[in-house]
Amino acid sequence: MRRKVVGASWKMHVNTLEEGLALAQGIHQEVGQITDVDIFILPAFPLIQGLSTIFKSGQIGWGAQNMCFETKGAFTGEVPAPMLKELNCQYVELAHAERKKFFNETDLTVNKKLRICQEFGFTPVVCIGETSEDLAQDRAQAALKEQVVTMLSGLNHDFLKQTILAYEPVWAIGKSKTAGLDYIQNMHCYIRNIVKEYFGQDVSDDIRIIYGGSVSCETSDELLGLNDVDGVFIGRFGLNPENFRKITESALKNI
């Protein structure tokens, strides 16, 4: 049985330490003692340490929104895995559409980063998703297949089983509502089949595929009720402790 996931990336929405710590405290108060769902928050790098001092007395995990593809050396502006390990990060997000768009992250770079996650024991949250151009060219599924196969290749199967795939249709990020429910269910099912075809039944049974892209407490009940949706990855609408609790309650209803 796959454990449900409720994760949030704060992107760069929170831009002072004070605001970040207050939000972390609020979320900790609302959902910090829940044990039946895997909950995590990914703040900007400078907030990780402060947030960890709040979350360590509860069940909420934490991690980074990115990580360097090398572990040491002349890579100006980057953050290496050993430092994330020292900060006791459990999760590392990779391949978000914004990193691809603004920072030229490629599927091959993500594969290198995943090898480092494997070495350091991080649970990666790997974003995949088709763009509106892919949709217009009728190649949404082909794009997803390419991403999954390139990014996950050469990794060991035990590691893949604990990997989280975040399906985020790029055209549904930052909008007022999510993609349609049937569409999401079909795509999750398709992704699981790709994983099965390339990495085997065991991996496809265990890997968690969560949905991201304008998730809110208004839509979380329906989303988390879908067969192949193992959780949600929240952006803007997770920046409020009460909404975060409501979304977590949707996950608890569907365990």
Least distance in angstroms from the C-beta of 95 to ligand PGA: 11
Residue 157 among the catalytic residues: no
Mask: binding to ligand PGA, 222-251, rule CB under 6 A, as x and -?
-----------xxxxx--------------
Residue 13 among the catalytic residues: no
Query: Does residue 7 touch ligand PGA according to CB under 6 A?
Result: no
Query: Does residue 42 touch ligand PGA according to CB under 6 A?
Result: no
CA distances from 223 to 170, 179, 186 (A): 17, 10, 12
d(CA 251, CA 4): 6
Closer to ligand PGA at the Cβ: 6 or 203?
Answer: 6
Closer to ligand PGA at the Cβ: 65 or 203?
Answer: 65
Alpha helix positions (H), 87-219: 97-103, 107-120, 132-136, 140-152, 157-161, 181-199, 201-206
Q: What angle do CA 202, 206, 210 make, to 5 degrees?
A: 140
Q: Which of residues 165-194 bind ligand PGA (CB under 6 A)?
A: 168, 173-174
Least distance in angstroms from the C-beta of 189 to ligand PGA: 21
CA distances from 207 to 81, 188, 201, 213 (A): 22, 11, 10, 20
Enumerate the active-site residues.
Answer: 96, 168
Residues found near ligand PGA in the complex (CB under 6 A): 9, 168, 173-174, 212-215, 233-237
